[in-house]
Amino acid sequence: MSQSTEDTGHRGFVLARSDVEVAGTDEGAWIGISDSSFTVRGNGAHRLIRDLVAGCDGRATVQDVLDRGPGAGRPVADTLLKALVRRRYVVLLDQPLGGAGAGSAPDPLIRQFAHWTEDSSAAVARLSGKSLRLVGEPGWLERVRSELDGLVPPGLRVEDLPVTPGRTRAPLLDTYPGEPASASWQAGDVVALQADAFSADELAREQKSLWNHGAPHCVAGRIGSRYWLLWSRDGGTGCWRCLRSLALAAEVAAPDTGVGALTDVAGHVSVANLVRSLLARAAGIDDAFGTADALSADVHELSVRTHTVVRRPGCACRCTESRKPRHGSGPAEAVIRRNFYASDDSDRSDEHHAEIMGTLASWTDERVGPFLEIDRDTLPQVPLGAAYARALNLVDEHGGIAATVRTLSSREAYYQAALNVLEVTSRHGAGETDPARYTGAGWTHGEATYRALLRSLPGAPSDPRTMAPLDLDDSSDGECARMARYLERRLGNRGIGGTWLGEHLGNGLCHAALIAEGGPAVSGYGACYGEAVAMALLRTVNDGVLVHVNPHHTTWGDFWTQVTAPVGLEDVSLPFAQGPARIVGFVPESGARRPYDLAEVSVP
């Protein structure tokens, strides 16, 4: 249906998206849609673009729209129309809206699909032979049916499956002994479940059946003051029980007074969004609502938001994943971040930072977490960068998990605050009971392995008499020595100081210990003494968290040629650890006192 975005030619029927807006400016015109905009300069730009958009009604051809304008402005109009098509503000149709050849594609559906795809007709064609199965109470089914009116093309089946309160029934795709076989299931069929028509256990059983069959489905219902639509995209994701627990744990949902009839405006908005998402998913437009798992509509604010919802550890929706032993340290080519921003950072490093920031953004959701906030703006950033991370307690629904980190840069503090919270969550979420197991999280597998190794090392020297006096200038990489001197100078102004001792460990790490005058000794570790001294100094300004210094090597492969990785590493799975985050754990051959007690990071 669509033509090349570079050359509209004079073929096809043009349809402007319904969310296109045009406004005049001092220099010309502004034109925008829900997620982008651009401006055009020129005295007549506003009127010209306004007329172009108005003419793109789905019935006019490109030639018709151009012919309606003044001849002198035709070249400009042609250029602007091509720009609108290229930016997908306007789509090209093979058949006109309301025409005889478009009988299988209702106009409202074509207009709706134009928001998400350049080929609305092909998307509609993909609905043929598929089924939408609506499972809920009769009143809810009637509301959804009403919203579907005028949007269902020939070939798409819509099946109502009423739920009678108080009557036990088999899940949609399962049967009980003596019951007739479940309806046939075809790939691409989509199910919508009304959450309030089921008890919690019944809904969990229904979802489990759908997951087992690989059936995409949406659960719709009310939690407190918001209506929610929760999509299950893959087996074991999109669990309503997890969503409800997370939403309530975030303490943002109002007391649930019962759903009753969907008579408020937010209820109507929720049903409308349900219908739109059902049709889009059935048509194979999986990214119609971005990568979000859920939509929520507020009863009072009438706002609609997208969310990424995670699975809670301990919930039955989580597939049991055995830990996989790993004998290496992960991809050797993984880049190691610099401790400070440097103008000569490589493109790989920039991509690494962008990936981390994108992942953290997807994890931060003030309503369903898992991170409620990761903030560095409210903390002083001099002389050290600082960040605070707070997450939902995904384990017992009470309290939360928080960590404050101070280190060499604000960006690095931001990253490591999140890692400390991940490590707490991973131990609790995995049901970890072995006190000798050490868990590390990282933005690469190498970093996670390094943090797990650091957690296994003592936080203070066991016997300073075995260590030798330390001279940084003679025993450290130049850049790392300068970093350690910087921290020593900055923190020395706060009365932090003493005698430095050092030793080489059998695993290839350097160990530096600060023997403070009249105070406790503190240890740090690194690939060189500069890193070890810097880590020890950072321990004096961080409480209950592990803050490491990134090794001076270029890649983790280089680092692990010097340092021996722990034996018996096992990958640990977190429900929301998508993206670059990795979590590993291991049990050392001889248990050592845990220097960084993860429980210290938990807060009520």
Handedness of CA 510, 511, 517, 519 (dihedral sign): positive
* 271 plus 417 within the same structural domain: no
Which residues have C-beta within 8 Å of that of residue 555, sequence separation ≥ 6? 332, 333, 334, 335, 336
Strands 582-586 and 438-442: antiparallel
Looking at residue 425, what is its pLDDT? 79
What average pLDDT does the chain have? Answer: 76
* 131 plus 51 within the same structural domain: no
pLDDT at 2 over 70: no
* 79 plus 26 within the same structural domain: yes
C-alpha span between 165 and 272 (Å, rounded): 24
Comparing 73-82, 218-227, 337-346, 453-462, the range with the smallest average pLDDT is 337-346
3-state SS of 246-277 is HHHHCCCCCCCCCCCCCCCHHHHHHHHHHHHH
Question: Which of 537-575 are b and which e, b meaning 16 or more Cβ less than 10 Å from the residue's Cβ?
Answer: bbbbbbeebbbbbbbbbebbbbbbeebebbeebbbbbbb
Tell me, rounded to whole angstroms, the distance of Cα 444 from its chain centroid: 17
C-alpha span between 18 and 258 (Å, rounded): 35
The DSSP line for 141-157 is HHHHHHHHTTT--TT-E
Residue spans of beta strands (DSSP E) within 157-203: 157-162, 190-194
Query: pLDDT tens digit string along 387-429?
Result: 888 777 655 555 578 889 999 888 898 899 989 988 887 776 5
pLDDT at 493 over 70: no
- Burial label for 203, CB within 10 Å (0-12, 13-18, 19+), is buried
* 490 plus 403 within the same structural domain: no
Single residue among 455, 474, 494 that ends a domain in this structure: 455
Which residues have C-beta within 8 Å of that of residue 461, sequence separation ≥ 6? 467, 501, 511, 513, 521, 523
Structural domain includes residue 594: no
Structural domain includes residue 504: yes
Reference 124, options 280, 2, 290, 287; nearest CA is 280
Looking at residue 551, what is its pLDDT? 93
C-alpha span between 95 and 457 (Å, rounded): 70
3-state secondary structure at position 173: coil
32-46 average pLDDT score: 82
Looking at residue 321, what is its pLDDT? 39
Looking at residue 249, what is its pLDDT? 62
Handedness of CA 140, 141, 143, 144 (dihedral sign): positive
Structural domain includes residue 141: yes
462-485 average pLDDT score: 78
* 423 plus 479 within the same structural domain: no
**Tokens read off for 389:** 């991370």
Which residues have C-beta within 8 Å of that of residue 526, sequence separation ≥ 6? 480, 509, 510, 512, 532, 533, 534, 535, 549, 551
Looking at residue 234, what is its pLDDT? 56
**Tokens read off for 559:** 């680092």
* 158 plus 243 within the same structural domain: yes
* 440 plus 488 within the same structural domain: no
Structural domain includes residue 88: yes
Looking at residue 301, what is its pLDDT? 64
Pick 505 or 372 by higher pLDDT.
505
Query: pLDDT tens digit string along 499-515?
Result: 889 898 889 999 999 88
* 131 plus 236 within the same structural domain: yes
C-alpha span between 225 and 242 (Å, rounded): 17
- Burial label for 141, CB within 10 Å (0-12, 13-18, 19+), is buried
pLDDT at 156 over 80: yes
Single residue among 276, 307, 338 that ends a domain in this structure: 307
C-alpha span between 173 and 213 (Å, rounded): 8
Q: Which domain holds residue 411?
A: 325-455
Looking at residue 479, what is its pLDDT? 82
Q: How many CB atoms lie within 10 A of CB 597?
A: 13
Strands 217-223 and 190-194: parallel
Looking at residue 518, what is its pLDDT? 65
Task: Give the CATH number for residue 75.
Answer: 3.90.930.70
Helices 347-363 and 410-429, interaxial angle, to 10°? 50
* 478 plus 445 within the same structural domain: no
Q: How confident is the model at residue 454 (pLDDT cuts 50, 70, 90)?
A: very high
Cα distances (angstroms) measured from residue 486 to each of 410, 471, 530, 542: 16, 15, 11, 17
**Tokens read off for 497:** 């100081």
Q: How confident is the model at residue 25 (pLDDT cuts 50, 70, 90)?
A: confident
Tell me, rounded to whole angstroms, the distance of Cα 289 from its chain centroid: 14
Question: Which of 263-299 are b and which e, b meaning 16 or more Cβ less than 10 Å from the residue's Cβ?
Answer: ebebbbbbbebbbbbbbbbbbebeebbeebbbbbbbb
The answer to whether residues 516 and 468 touch, using CB atoms and an 8 Å cutoff, is no
Cα distances (angstroms) measured from residue 399 to each of 93, 224, 425: 54, 19, 13
C-alpha span between 89 and 369 (Å, rounded): 34
Looking at residue 525, what is its pLDDT? 95
Task: Give the CATH number for residue 232.
Answer: 3.40.50.720
Q: How confident is the model at residue 533 (pLDDT cuts 50, 70, 90)?
A: very high
* 150 plus 286 within the same structural domain: yes
Tell me, rounded to whole angstroms, the distance of Cα 470 from its chain centroid: 45
C-alpha span between 555 and 334 (Å, rounded): 6
Helices 265-282 and 138-148, interaxial angle, to 10°? 70
Q: How confident is the model at residue 591 (pLDDT cuts 50, 70, 90)?
A: very low
Structural domain includes residue 6: no
Reference 43, options 56, 31, 25; nearest CA is 25
Looking at residue 423, what is its pLDDT? 87
Number of domains forming the structure of the chain: 4
pLDDT at 256 over 50: no
Give me the percent of the chain exceeding a pLDDT of 70.
71
Query: pLDDT tens digit string along 63-105?
Result: 888 888 777 778 888 888 888 888 888 888 877 887 655 455 7
Query: pLDDT tens digit string along 300-352?
Result: 666 677 777 766 655 666 543 334 444 444 555 678 888 876 655 566 677 88
Handedness of CA 54, 59, 63, 69 (dihedral sign): negative
Structural domain includes residue 24: yes
* 439 plus 348 within the same structural domain: yes
Looking at residue 220, what is its pLDDT? 92
Structural domain includes residue 117: no
Looking at residue 594, what is its pLDDT? 43
**Tokens read off for 543:** 């409480």
* 137 plus 285 within the same structural domain: yes
536-552 average pLDDT score: 91
154-171 average pLDDT score: 78
Looking at residue 54, what is its pLDDT? 87
Reference 277, options 191, 369, 172; nearest CA is 191
The answer to whether residues 94 and 1 touch, using CB atoms and an 8 Å cutoff, is yes
Looking at residue 300, what is its pLDDT? 67
Structural domain includes residue 604: no
